[in-house]
Amino acid sequence: MTTPKKGHDPVCGMEVDPKEAAGKSTFQNVTYYFCSQRCKEDFDADPVKYLLKK
């Protein structure tokens, strides 16, 4: 399991401190952190969409 020091919100692109993240999700053994519950919900609805974006 990968636990980065600094999280990166894949939905909005913000850097998120894991300690202050509003939410987190694990997808394919990688943990993602989110600035808000809203971003987490968007990610959970369709993780692949956000991971392929970039």
Q: In whole angstroms, how close is the CB of 27 to Zn ion at the nearest point?
A: 15
Question: DSSP string spanning the chain?
Answer: -B--SSEE-TTT--EE-GGG-SEEEEETTEEEEESSHHHHHHHHH-HHHHHHH-
Site string for Zn ion, 23-52 (x = CB under 5 A): ------------x---x-------------
CA-to-CA distance for 28 and 44, rounded, in angstroms? 12
Nearer to Zn ion, 37 or 48 (CB): 37
Contact status: 21 vs Zn ion (CB under 5 A): no
Shortest reach from residue 51's CB to Zn ion, in Å? 14
